[in-house]
């Protein structure tokens, strides 16, 4: 059974390596602030081993232009960086072709760098595939995402409200317990007949509000007894 499975997987792999093309991966979109450096990553998936003749090439199409220009090419183990176009002296190759990484670094981006970058990788003999695009969006200042501040304000205010209500009820509960324990210890020391019924009354009370009322009632009874 296991040998049948192994055989089928090998056959399928063999078929697949002949039918699937090279797949190039880049990010979908990159956001950057004016003046920062942006790393555009490019990688590929191929069934064949990474060849020493692997090539990477980057093209750039500005946000208003119709054609794309070539800005980077890596071939024969040597990276060739654009030294005439809009990215001269700003482009650097930071990839590792033996690890299938063809990333480039654009330094000091500007608003004019808004556009679409296309990465095309070829891994001979696996050359059939389509290139991948990444959009670069450059901002003057970071835009506020819709609804972040709204959600934050609502969350904080409601959280504070719940906290205050919880603390209020906790304080009431603690104060009532303290009153209850004080009255219990007082009556325990005196130990008279009437205290039996009063203690039963105290034990029956559980609600803190009624506890306060009961405590005040006990005080009234004590004052009446003192008057007698």
Partner 1 sequence: MLVLLAAIFLLHIACICLLLAATIHNAWWMSNTMSTDIWSRWMLNGGTWNYTEIPDHYPKEYLQAVQASSVLACIFCILGLFVFVAQLYTLPKGKRFLFTGAFQLLAWLCIMIAASIYTDIFHKDKEQGWYGASFILAWISVCLTFISCITYFILRKKTA
Residue ranges in contact with partner 1 by CB under 8 A: 143-144, 146-154, 157-158, 161, 209
Q: Which is nearer to partner 1, 112 or 149 (CB)?
A: 149
Q: Which is nearer to partner 1, 73 or 212 (CB)?
A: 212
Round to whole Å and give the CA distance between 64 and 114. Answer: 9
Q: Which two tokens stand for residue 173?
A: 């509960």
Nearest approach in angstroms of CB 154 to partner 1 is 5
Q: Which is nearer to partner 1, 94 or 213 (CB)?
A: 213
Nearest approach in angstroms of CB 62 to partner 1 is 21
Q: Which is nearer to partner 1, 127 or 162 (CB)?
A: 162
Nearest approach in angstroms of CB 134 to partner 1 is 24
Round to whole Å and give the CA distance between 95 and 210. Answer: 75
Q: Which is nearer to partner 1, 124 or 155 (CB)?
A: 155
Nearest approach in angstroms of CB 50 to partner 1 is 45
Buried b (16+ CB within 10 A) or exposed e, 185-196: eebeeeeeeebe
Place of tokens 């095309």: 120
Q: Which is nearer to partner 1, 19 or 141 (CB)?
A: 141
Query: Beta strand 69-75 with 23-26: parallel, antiparallel or unpaired?
Result: unpaired
Nearest approach in angstroms of CB 221 to partner 1 is 20
Give SS3 for 28. coil
DSSP secondary structure of 118-185: EEEEEBTTB-----EEEEEEEESSPPPPTTHHHHHHHHHHHHHHHHHHHHHHHHHHHHHHHHHHHHHH
Q: Which two tokens stand for residue 218?
A: 């006990």
Nearest approach in angstroms of CB 91 to partner 1 is 31
């Amino acid at each position: 059974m296991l040998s049948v499975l192994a055989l089928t997987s090998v056959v399928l792999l063999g078929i697949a390596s002949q039918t699937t093309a090279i797949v190039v991966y880049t990010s979908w979109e990159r956001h950057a602030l004016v003046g920062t450096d942006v790393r555009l990553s490019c990688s590929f998936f191929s069934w064949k081993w990474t060849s020493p003749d692997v090539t990477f090439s980057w093209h750039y199409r500005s946000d208003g232009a119709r054609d794309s220009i070539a800005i980077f090419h890596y071939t024969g183990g040597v990276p060739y960086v654009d030294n005439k176009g809009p990215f001269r002296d700003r482009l650097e190759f930071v990839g590792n072709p033996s690890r299938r990484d063809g990333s480039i670094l654009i330094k000091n981006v500007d608003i004019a760098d808004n556009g679409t970058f296309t990465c095309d990788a070829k891994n001979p003999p696996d050359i059939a595939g389509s290139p991948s695009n990444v959009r670069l969006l450059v901002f003057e200042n970071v835009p506020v995402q819709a609804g972040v501040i709204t959600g934050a304000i609502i969350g904080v205010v409601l959280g504070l409200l719940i906290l205050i209500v919880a603390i209020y009820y906790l304080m009431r509960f603690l104060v009532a317990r303290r009153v209850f324990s004080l009255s219990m210890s007082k009556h325990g020391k005196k130990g008279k007949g009437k205290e039996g019924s009063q203690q039963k009354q105290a034990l029956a009370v559980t609600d803190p509000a009624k506890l306060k009322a009961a405590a005040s009632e006990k005080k009234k009874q004590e004052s009446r007894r003192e008057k007698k």
